[in-house]
Structure 1
Amino acid sequence: TEVENFPGFREGIMGPDLMEQMREQAKRFGAEIRTEDVEELDLTGEIKTVSANGETYQARAIILAMGAAARYLSIPGEEKLLGRGVSACATCDGFFFRDQDIAVIGGGDSAMEEATFLTRFARSVTVVHRRSEFRASRIMLERAKLNDKITFLTDTKVLEVLGDTSVTGLALENALTGEKTTLDVTGMFVAIGHDPRNELVKGQVELDEAGYVKVASPSSATSVAGVFAAGDLVDHVYQQAITAAGTGCTASIDAERWLAEQGDITSNTLEHADQPVDVGSA
């Protein structure tokens, strides 16, 4: 993915390149980076435990930054054709659908934004929404409606993604009449929201009604002392690289100050206990 809205990169930068630059800068200042799959977190007690790839890490402060994952429809053909016509990121994959007919699934602001963006490349974009009314803000909806390349199918459910090796169409059903039809498209972009990756912390820290980790704004402190959170794990509004980076900085400062208040900032009695441990990526 090309990142065009991160400060300091006037011509934009590819996502992996930005990540590598951040990684190298962090290592320059002494950060120890482990690329491992975290299997379990124990946030109870003064000492927190992180289990990953058979290793156990202990720390007094932990930063949670597992991010959020795009929500999919869970219908036949969707998973099989993921990356072969099915996508949840217009900015990542829109270019590959130049002069093609594609569909966007959803009825909120993100769906309207994705549809509008995709008209830069696609021949036509059909927005498919299961209800008659859209959740999108008026300005986003009007902008989409004024675009000649965008058409709308309301009260319509997607039953199946068609195609063997790539998307060839969508099987649809009218929610009011039950009539079944086929929409001929070569791409389907799902824009129905995100789910926070909270599996590791459910039942350990307080979550909001949508499952995002609650923090004591403007700080990054969670409901558990010594545990901080940042990025899309706490943000269901902006979900941008720069906002995630900003909250990551906030969490690092909060964790360092918290350790200093506990008198543990220079302690070496536990592995990593003198430094906050960052779990995941925003």
Structure 2
Amino acid sequence: MALKKIQDCVIIGSGPAGYSAAIYASRADLNPILFEGTQPGGQLTTTTSIDNYLGFPVGIDGINFMQNCKKQAERYNTKIINQSVINVCLSNKNRGIHHIFFEKKCINSRGVIIATGSNPKLLGIQKEKKLIGLGISFCATCDGFFHKDKDVAVVGGGDTALSDTNYLSKICKKVYLIVRKNYFKASKILQSYILKKKNVKILFCSQITKIIGNNFLEGIKIFNHEKKTNITILVNGLFIAIGHIPNTEIFKNQLDLDNKGYIIVKKGSTITNKPGVFAAGDVQDPNYRQAITSAGTGCMAALDLEKYLIS
């Protein structure tokens, strides 16, 4: 069943990018409809405390922050649908109509803002999901401060892992860098920084086999493939940096994606290869992945859409 009225703005996703886009689109009288998706509020709802978002001097709980974003969007009469978009049909024509499918319904819209985010890759071991936000994190710049002067571990061998290690080495007592291979995949310059750090212990040919702790992370057990040995280290924080998976499955073969699946946008904008379709937040940002940058691109997407509709 199709909803007969043609909308001006449909937003897919309910993280900082989605709600920021909704607020700006609402204030521009675009009457946005926002789909919350399978994880209303996005990844921030798994964060116990946000300490680095502008305007919150004592921090704020991730769930409360996203609830505030939702209330602000509702204040401007954003229509919020607690459903997931299951498919889309995006028009190639300028001023074309895009079709967004959910349940057994379809919404037709002149403009679409995609803010579906990305999900971090998991190690796939017991207690990993349970202790997310309770010692386990995927963002060193977000949560590293909570482990100041303590021992932590980072998993991964690429640029993100080494960047996280470099950051954490400045505020933490000791950082264990756990690398599955016997070499780094990161850039040479990052490798040189890490190799000079006296409080970083690199464990090559290693993987985490067990997470220790019930209500909070207490330590990890590591197996070394080369030496065939097991060791246990006590850490207060574990930062998993083995990559992210952008939520772009339903946009394949319709939008231009890079080799990792992120939506490609025109430089300095949120414009995709389809007229009237814009992308904001982590779904088009493999580099920063911060709440504040996501919110910024959400604002950009709404402004880009408004300009598209009146041009």
Alignment TM-score, normalising by the size of structure 2: 0.67
The residue that corresponds to 1:134 in the other structure is 184
Q: 1:142 to 1:44 in 2, by over 3 A?
A: closer
Q: 1:10 to 1:144 in 2, by over 3 A?
A: farther
The one of 233, 237, 257 equivalent to 1:184 is 233
Q: 1:162 to 1:67 in 2, by over 3 A?
A: closer
Deviations 1:212-252 (A, max 9, x none): 01223344222323211112111112323343233223221
Task: Flag structure 1 segments of 5+ consecutive residues without an equivalent.
Answer: 262-282
Q: 1:170 to 1:33 in 2, by over 3 A?
A: farther
Count of matched residue pairs: 255
Q: CA deviation at 1:211?
A: 0.2
Deviations 1:187-214 (A, max 9, x none): 4321122211113323332211110012
Within-5 A mapping of 1:183-202: 183-186=232-235, 187-202=237-252
The one of 257, 262, 266 equivalent to 1:207 is 257
Task: Flag structure 2 segments of 5+ consecutive residues without an equivalent.
Answer: 1-48
Q: CA deviation at 1:22?
A: 5.2
Q: 2:262 and 2:246 mapped to 1: Cα distance?
A: 6
Matched position secondary structure for 2:286:
coil
Q: 1:201 to 1:147 in 2, by over 3 A?
A: same
**Identity between Structure 1 and Structure 2 (%):** 32
Higher helix proportion? 2
Q: 2:282 and 2:131 mapped to 1: Cα distance?
A: 26
The one of 102, 124, 138 equivalent to 2:152 is 102
The residue that corresponds to 2:30 in the other structure is none
Matched position secondary structure for 1:113:
helix
Q: 1:41 and 1:205 mapped to 2: Cα distance?
A: 13
CA contact 1:129–1:155 (8 Å) conserved in 2: yes
The one of 272, 277, 289 equivalent to 1:227 is 277
CA RMSD of aligned residues (A): 3.3
The residue that corresponds to 1:169 in the other structure is 220
Give the letter for the 2:162 counterpart. Answer: M
| Higher mean C-alpha deviation, range 48-57 or range 200-209 | 48-57
The residue that corresponds to 2:111 in the other structure is 61
1:249 paired with 2:299, answer yes
Alignment TM-score, normalising by the size of structure 1: 0.73
CA contact 1:162–1:171 (8 Å) conserved in 2: no
Q: CA deviation at 1:20?
A: 5.8
Q: CA deviation at 1:88?
A: 1.7
| Higher mean C-alpha deviation, range 112-121 or range 19-28 | 19-28
